[in-house]
Structure 1
Amino acid sequence: MSEVEWRRKWKPDLKACPWQPITIVHQLYLFKCKYTHSSYELLITDNVNFWFEQLEGEDLEERTVALNPSVKATPTRILDEIQICLENQSNKTRLSVSPKKSKLVINVDSEMAGMAFVWQFQCETADHEMISDNFNVPLLGMVGELTRRNKELVKVIEAKDKEIDDYKSQGAKTSRKHIETAVFVSTAFENNMIMSKEFEQEVKQLGSSGFSEDNQDLYRQIMTRYAYLMRPEAADSTEESMEDKKTTPSVNSWETNRFPASLTGRSPVKSANNSPQKSPTKGSSSTESSPAKDSELLRRQALERKLEDEERKKSEPKKKKKKLAF
């Protein structure tokens, strides 16, 4: 199965959802959330601890009724509002945290259609496997890919410098002096980046700018490709064999439909509804020995010979053309 076909059938899970920064009472968190029409999965971290909650079905409806008894809405509408509160915060949305021993309770106060809307995430401590699958492995993959891209960009810039140097050797000059650039040196560039003020700002905001829109898309692409590469090969081959059985026609059916029965050497198939022929009654002549039947048989044989000749004539020129092509 090709990757394009696999992507059409694949349903992304929580691991494919990118991390997003969120600030709750002056504290920076990273979170990711996977929504369906009747459930959500939330994973959140303060870069030290990780908490997780999955809520679906009746549990989601019970919490909705308990927190918002006057609100009547479908689970899908409630989940849409929860997503808006987390991802598109407004002045009407207020978030607070109530840390407990092994829990993280996030309180949400907002409005939905002019009415007060309250929600509460009750997250438990996430296990180590979930942390590795959703945080460590993807971030290492992103670092590796960004390093590879950085090397490719250095090669492109160095090639551009060679091209500009060739133009200058032929007497070419820039129309304006301020757009002229110096020759790129990778070690000097790296030193300048480390000594710049922007580097210090990035260190202070550790984690907040690591998942910008571009990096979120990179995260999504890496985890989608990772899921494709780690897919079960057995299931893949089973689907391909099923598709081959559906699409590949049998030789017998092609041959039977392509040529008449006399050329294929097979007797025509009789319908199950055809009744056996009755023996001729007394006084009537046999149809097998009638002159009309004999002439019909001769006519059919002549037609078959004509078809064979035509097929032979069509194949002969093709053979000659192949010989000439060599």
Structure 2
Amino acid sequence: MRGIPPTGGSGAPARARHPAGDLLALARSGDGEAFRELVEPYRRELQVHCYRILGSVQDAEDLLQETLLAAWRGIDGYAERASVRTWLYRIATNRCLNALRAVSRRPQEYAAYQPEVPLPEPSRLRAEPSWLEPYPDVLLDEIADHLPGPEARYEARESVSLAFLAALQQLPPRQRAVLVLRDVLAFRSVEVAEILGTTENAVNSALKRARAALAHELPAPDRESSPLPNSPEERRIVDDFVRAFEAGDVDAIVAMMTDDAWLTMPPLPLEYQGPDAVRNFLTTVALRNGLRYVLVPTRANGQPAFGCYVRDPRTPIMHAHGVLVLTLTGGRISVLTRFIDNSLLTLFGFPRSLRT
């Protein structure tokens, strides 16, 4: 068994570029640097693939490392019937499916969460917690910059939107993998069958069921009404929201939201819909008793996002209060998603506390 793990990103020492065939031969001879050069072009897209299936950035990174280690150790068995990319996707997809079949992930985090005040009755209570986490746009940019044209880049971001991923998490694991491989990554049915070790008929059947379920969960994207990322309209909405939220102006926040807007808090299965429910939550929980926040702008899943910090009136320290992501529709906010795990701030390069 090979014992050199392919860890690290693009920080390998510089070396002469080799054709893929030469790199493969060198890797098979035990050249770890040749292996890193062989798989490096696929590293980020494989991580995003694992993220789509698992919904967790941290789990995706763990599974990426497992995938590359398995590929390194098993490279002698790579028969070259498919491309290196397809071979890596086969390993990654099956590792993700094995992870989803394992005992429920991170139940201790959900059980350990204790709200500071009683939470209002939700509009909807999902059967299971959502382990969905936000994905930093700075990582997505590494993929989007290599895609041909704005349409391809839009579709790449759409396929990691929180709405798409939340709907995807409702599918059974095998259907989830089939839909991502076929409709997001555009593998052919015969290739997906090879990746999953099943038949083409089984792939097509799973894809049909997955598409029907996703259409029920996810409304069709309205590209015409949604402001473009980093456009003047989006910046205006974001600036107005920051002013209202930092001032604790519940009326102004609610006025910016659509009539059917949702407020969600992964992993909690509680969801609040509509102006009255959102207003009640903000008044009694998020902005109660004059709580004030500082929002530090960032981007996640192709959407405006913020690192949240709550002010402490007794000290100059502002404490971490999760990550907030906005979903915009037609110039208004259709979803407020607050991720309650403060450790997620580190994914965006934010500290656990700030000083005023």
Q: So what's the TM-score if we normalise by structure 2?
A: 0.18
Greater gyration radius: 1
Q: So what's the TM-score if we normalise by structure 1?
A: 0.20
